């Protein structure tokens, strides 16, 4: 069975609405925790033989929250909490439904280096993401 990326995003957002939607309409702190759990975090759908990833930018995360609340827009939630910080309740709900988070910092792509990546750039081999020690090598 082939699952489209769009279908998985719809499923992901339906899960959030099902478990947390009503609370989100009145709980701003919860919405901030959800924004933090989404912004710059890749969520992998593990109930498929395909590699399917859901990820949200700062704006997209805020937009989803505004849509679920049926109020405001993405700017109401933009940077409303620390990004790339997954709330434990949210993590458990998503895992129960087949999604796991990769909330680790990116790793330097230089062979043999395990430092956190901090510099993204293009070079003659394509897009690179390296630590500060290996930037522009």
Residue 63 confidence (pLDDT) above 60: yes
pTM: 0.80
- pLDDT of 104: 85
Spell out the alpha helix ranges (H) of 28-112: 28-38, 58-69, 88-96
- pLDDT of 118: 83
Q: What is the CA radius of gyration of the chain?
A: 17
Model pLDDT for residues 8-54, shown as the tens digit of each residue: 899 999 999 999 999 999 999 999 999 999 998 999 999 888 888 89
Q: CA-to-CA distance for 122 and 133, rounded, in angstroms? A: 16
CA 125 from chain centre, in angstroms, equals 27
Model pLDDT for residues 81-109, shown as the tens digit of each residue: 999 999 999 999 999 999 999 988 889 99
| C-alpha distances in Å from residue 45, one per residue of 48, 58, 135 | 7, 20, 32
- Strand ranges across the sheet with 99-102: 52-55, 42-45, 99-102
CB atoms within 10 A of CB 8: 21
| pLDDT band per the 50, 70, 90 thresholds, residue 136 | low
- pLDDT of 7: 86
């Amino acid at each position: 069975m082939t699952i489209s990326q769009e279908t998985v995003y719809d499923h992901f957002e339906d899960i959030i609405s099902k478990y947390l939607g009503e609370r989100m309409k009145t709980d701003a702190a919860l919405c901030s925790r959800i924004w933090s759990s989404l912004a710059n975090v890749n969520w992998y759908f593990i109930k498929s033989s395909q590699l399917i990833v859901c990820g949200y930018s700062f704006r997209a995360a805020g937009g989803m929250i505004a849509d679920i609340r049926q109020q405001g827009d993405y700017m109401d939630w933009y940077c409303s909490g620390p990004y790339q910080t997954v709330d434990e309740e949210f993590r458990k709900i998503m895992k129960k439904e087949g999604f796991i988070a990769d909330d680790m910092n990116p790793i330097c792509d230089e062979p043999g280096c395990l430092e956190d990546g901090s510099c993204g750039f293009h070079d003659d081999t394509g897009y690179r993401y390296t630590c500060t020690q290996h930037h522009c090598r």
